[in-house]
Structure 1
Amino acid sequence: MIRYTLIFSAVLLLSSCGKINPPGPRLFKSSDLPLEDIKLPEGFEIELFAAGVKNARSMALSPKGTLFVGTRGEGKVYALRDKDGDAKADELFVLAEGLKMPNGVALHNGDLYVAEVSRILRFPNIEGNLSEPGEPEVVFDQYPTETHHGWKYIAFGPDGKLYVPVGAPCNICKSEDEVFASITRMNPDGTGMEVVQHGIRNTVGFTWHPKTGELWFTDNGRDWMGDDEPYCELNRAPEDGMHFGYPYCHQGDLPDPEFGSQRDCSEFTPPAKQLGPHVAPLGLEFYTQHQFPEAFRQLYVAEHGSWNRSKKIGYRVMMAVMEGDEVKAYQPFAEGWLKDGEVWGRPVDVEMMPDGSMLVSDDFADAIYRIRYAGEAVR
Structure 2
Amino acid sequence: MRSLLIPIAILFSNISHSLPLEKITLPPDFKIELYAKGVDNARQMALGDKGTLFVGSRKEGKVYALIDNDGDYKADKVIDIASKLFMPSGIAYHQGDLYVAEVDKIWRYSNIEASLPSVPTPELVYGKLPNKSHHGWKFIAFGPDGKLYIPVGAPCNVCESELPFATILKLDTVTKNSKIVATGVRNSVGFDFHPKTGDLWFTDNGRDMMGDDLPDDELNHVSKEGQFFGFPYIHNDDIHDPKFTSPEKAKHNRKPALKLGAHVAALGMEFYQGKQFPAEYQNNIFIAEHGSWNRSKKVGYRIVRVVLEGDRVVNSEVFASGWLQGEESWGRPVSVLTLPDGSLLVSDDAADAIYRISYEK
Q: What's the TM-score, normalizing by structure 1?
A: 0.92
Gaps of at least 5 residues in structure 1 are: 12-26
The alpha-carbon deviation at position 134 of structure 1 amounts to: 3.5
The alpha-carbon deviation at position 329 of structure 1 amounts to: 1.2
Which residue in 2 is equivalent to 1:137?
Answer: 123
1:139/1:190 contact within 8 Å kept: no
Give the counterpart letter for 1:186 in structure 2. L
Q: Secondary structure at the match of 1:267?
A: coil
Corresponding position: 1:293 with 2:286: no
Corresponding position: 1:2 with 2:41: no
2:217/2:262 contact within 8 Å kept: yes
RMSD (Å), alpha carbons: 1.3
The alpha-carbon deviation at position 136 of structure 1 amounts to: 1.0
Which residue in 2 is equivalent to 1:21?
Answer: none
Which residue in 2 is equivalent to 1:232?
Answer: 217
Which residue in 1 is equivalent to 2:172?
Answer: 187
Which residue in 1 is equivalent to 2:266?
Answer: 281
Q: Secondary structure at the match of 1:105?
A: strand
Tell me the alpha carbon deviations over residues 126-157 of structure 1, each in whole angstroms, 9 at most, x when there is no partner: 11122221331111111111100000010000
Corresponding position: 1:69 with 2:30: no
Partner Cα separation in structure 1 for residue 49 and residue 304 of structure 2: 26
Shifted more, 229-238 versus 288-297: the winner is: 288-297
1:55/1:362 contact within 8 Å kept: yes
Corresponding position: 1:196 with 2:218: no
1:95/1:130 contact within 8 Å kept: no
Partner Cα separation in structure 2 for residue 67 and residue 237 of structure 1: 29
2:5/2:119 contact within 8 Å kept: no
Which residue in 2 is equivalent to 1:324?
Answer: 310
Which residue in 2 is equivalent to 1:263?
Answer: 248
- Count of residues in correspondence between the two structures: 359
Corresponding position: 1:46 with 2:59: no
Question: Runs in 1 of length 4+ with deviation above 6 angstroms?
Answer: none
Residue correspondence of structure 1 range 65-144 to structure 2 within 5 A: 65-144=51-130
Which residue in 1 is equivalent to 2:200?
Answer: 215
Q: 1:263 to 1:10 in 2, by over 3 A?
A: farther
Partner Cα separation in structure 2 for residue 308 and residue 287 of structure 1: 31
Which residue in 1 is equivalent to 2:144?
Answer: 158
Partner Cα separation in structure 2 for residue 10 and residue 245 of structure 1: 47
Partner Cα separation in structure 1 for residue 165 and residue 206 of structure 2: 15
Shifted more, 256-265 versus 120-129: the winner is: 256-265
Partner Cα separation in structure 2 for residue 140 and residue 190 of structure 1: 10
Which residue in 2 is equivalent to 1:304?
Answer: 290
1:10/1:50 contact within 8 Å kept: no
Corresponding position: 1:358 with 2:351: no
Tell me the alpha carbon deviations over residues 320-359 of structure 1, each in whole angstroms, 9 at most, x when there is no partner: 0111111111110000000111000000000000101000
Which residue in 2 is equivalent to 1:23?
Answer: none
The alpha-carbon deviation at position 10 of structure 1 amounts to: 4.2
Partner Cα separation in structure 2 for residue 270 and residue 86 of structure 1: 44
Q: 1:75 to 1:229 in 2, by over 3 A?
A: same
Q: What's the TM-score, normalizing by structure 2?
A: 0.97
Partner Cα separation in structure 1 for residue 92 and residue 270 of structure 2: 14
Corresponding position: 1:172 with 2:149: no
Give the counterpart letter for 1:69 in structure 2. V
Partner Cα separation in structure 2 for residue 66 and residue 275 of structure 1: 32
Shifted more, 161-170 versus 183-192: the winner is: 183-192
Q: 1:289 to 1:302 in 2, by over 3 A?
A: same
Partner Cα separation in structure 2 for residue 74 and residue 186 of structure 1: 26
The alpha-carbon deviation at position 190 of structure 1 amounts to: 5.8
Give the counterpart letter for 1:368 in structure 2. I
